[in-house]
Amino acid sequence: MRWNVTNLQAFLRSKGMAYCYAVFIAGYFLLPMVSGHRRLYYILVLPPVLLLWRELIALYRGNTLFYLLLAFIGYMISSLFWSEGFNQAEALWSIWCSFAVLTFCAVTGYLWIEHSQTMDQFLRQSLYVAAAAGLVSVFAWYMNNPFPSSRLELLGVMSQTNNAACVYGLFTVFACHYLLTTPTRQAKLTYSIMAIVLLSVVLLTQSRTALAAVSMGILAIAGYRALGVVAIATGLSWALMAANSVLWTDRVATFSFRPGIWQQTINDIQGHWLLGRGSLVNPEVSAYDQVFNHAHNGYLATLRDGGLIGLTLLLIILGLAAFRAARLYRATRERIYLALLLYGMTCIAMDFDRLLVHPNELWLFFWAPIALIMTAYAKPRETSGQIRYAMPAK
């Protein structure tokens, strides 16, 4: 038995873990059911992560950002116990989801350091998968719905429009990164086409959250060169919403009810500013004579659940990650880290709720960038023609 485990660990260290992870990421676009995709992580990725626990501990020993992540997760778990209407089963599920997020961050950083070339190839191939899945979704949706006024709903596990748009927007940022860094004209043409396809998918979803995040991402990557693209994309987005009078009323005239939702979320926190109301509190918000299912702001949701302590820990994590991303840029001229971080921070500022959740789209566009910065800063690695890891360890 010992020999079998030893050989399995050796296989996972060589590229087995990378392949398991790649299948899980591809599942966002290829699997038809959400539940099946979650099981894919728990069956295909989590067990290998547990088998490599020694390597992960060694990698993150002394890593301040990782310790802050542990502190944030630990505190948010502790808030379960002062939640209104504490329920043991729900608390155990929340703890499990928090553990899953921690393992995802740990393995993401580990793979991008230990198998950087392989993961870079997987990412490039994932752009083809994302672009193809987006095109299929466009044709499937608009065969039966008005084009282009109706909001695109994508196929597969990412059926919620905003969530799906944020994932496609993330891959738009990656496509722009490769477009600007690849050396050959043919490759630049390929990444240009993929960036246009992926950005078109984001526009057709009419998700302002994703569009704002994409704008932040590509501005961080390309600087003033991206201003024209951002202006055109913004204009097209408003034109698409204007083509549907109902959408214009619901999503523009009222800003999708966000101001009232945020105001009511803040009102609900009264009397719980320091510790929060706990991570099991009902996230629903009553505003505009309606009941909305969550706060539509990850920062306010963290303040609601964990109080000022929880929000401060989150902001320290993001602040340190931004500082390290800036240091990486100064050392390597690599803008992708800061672009990805700003992308995720923008997404949760305009939508979403709790951050410690079961496997879903939030993992890709919020937690993965933090994981990449966490290891890229701590572990130097020279590469060529791909995302680089060259920051001296501190």
| Cis? peptide before 148, omega within 30° of 0 | yes
Rounded CA separation 377/327 (Å) = 8
Do the Cβ atoms of 108 and 368 come closer than 8 Å? yes
- Is the pLDDT at 124 greater than 70, yes or no? yes
Please report which confidence band the pLDDT of residue 22 belongs to, taking 50, 70 and 90 as the band edges: very high
Rounded CA separation 328/240 (Å) = 38
**Encoding tokens for residue 193?**
């086409």
Do the Cβ atoms of 347 and 365 come closer than 8 Å? yes
- Is the pLDDT at 148 greater than 60, yes or no? yes
CA 195, chain centre distance (Å): 18
**Encoding tokens for residue 241?**
């919403």
- Is the pLDDT at 379 greater than 60, yes or no? no
The pLDDT score that the predictor gives to residue 376 is 82
For residues 162-171, give the mean pLDDT. 93
**Percentage of the chain lying above the pLDDT 90 cut:** 57
The pLDDT score that the predictor gives to residue 382 is 39
- Is the pLDDT at 335 greater than 80, yes or no? yes
Residues 6+ apart with CB under 8 A from 369: 321, 337, 340, 341, 343, 344
Question: Mean pLDDT: which of 57-66, 288-297, 339-348 is highest?
Answer: 339-348
**Encoding tokens for residue 178?**
């490769």
Across 139-148, 165-174, 186-195, 242-251, least confident range:
242-251
For residues 176-181, give the mean pLDDT. 92
Question: Mean pLDDT: which of 12-16, 26-30, 361-365 is highest?
Answer: 361-365
**Encoding tokens for residue 295?**
């706060």
- Is the pLDDT at 120 greater than 80, yes or no? yes
- Is the pLDDT at 393 greater than 50, yes or no? no
Do the Cβ atoms of 90 and 280 come closer than 8 Å? yes
Neighbours of 58 (CB within 10 A): 10
The pLDDT score that the predictor gives to residue 390 is 37
* pLDDT per position as a tens digit, 189-237: 999 999 999 999 999 998 889 999 999 999 999 887 777 877 887 777 7
Please report which confidence band the pLDDT of residue 317 belongs to, taking 50, 70 and 90 as the band edges: very high
The pLDDT score that the predictor gives to residue 134 is 93
**Backbone torsions φ then ψ of 202, nearest 5 degrees:** -60, -45
* pLDDT per position as a tens digit, 66-109: 999 999 999 999 999 999 878 899 999 999 999 999 999 999 99
Do the Cβ atoms of 356 and 76 come closer than 8 Å? yes
Handedness of CA 11, 50, 27, 69 (dihedral sign): negative
- Is the pLDDT at 351 greater than 70, yes or no? yes
Across 29-43, 86-100, 164-178, 258-272, least confident range:
29-43
**Encoding tokens for residue 379?**
């572990």
Residue with more model confidence, 381 or 136: 136
Rounded CA separation 164/154 (Å) = 7
For residues 142-168, give the mean pLDDT. 86
